[in-house]
Amino acid sequence: MSVVTLNVAFDAEGFMTNPDEWTKDIAGVLAEEEGIVPLTDRHWVVINYVRNEFAKTGESPTLRSISKKSGVDTKELYALFPKGPAKKVARVAGLGKPKGCI
């Protein structure tokens, strides 16, 4: 197993502190840490939606927003990002922890 060093800053909960430093390679490493491998086209639909919404609003979208507007319903979101999809997709997408997540 290879070790990858990420030259980006993370907060105490493991979320990137600067979303502008995010890359697809970083997403792959974070997804692996979350046990989400490989990232499929459906994962990327959600990740790209979340990053685009963040670019517009400055905040990570809620689970409800993701499921209503990304084209990926709630059931599929939980299959793609098990046990807390809004939080996990935000982390993989290089964003901060969504408001309302514990």
Q: Where residue 99 falls among pLDDT bands split at 50, 70, 90?
A: confident
Q: 8, 29, 45, 101: which is the annotated catalytic residue? A: 101
2 vs 45: CA distance, rounded Å: 28
Q: Which amino acid is at 37?
A: V
Domain 19-92 in CATH 1.10.10? The answer is yes
As a whole number of Å, the CA-based R_g of the chain is 13
Is 25 labeled as catalytic in the residue annotation?
no
Task: Over range 11-20, report the average pLDDT.
Answer: 95
Q: Where residue 1 falls among pLDDT bands split at 50, 70, 90?
A: very low
pLDDT in tens, 55-64: 999 999 989 9
38 contact partners, CB below 8 Å, separation of at least 6 = none
Q: What is the mean pLDDT of the chain?
A: 92
pLDDT of residue 2 exceeding 90: no
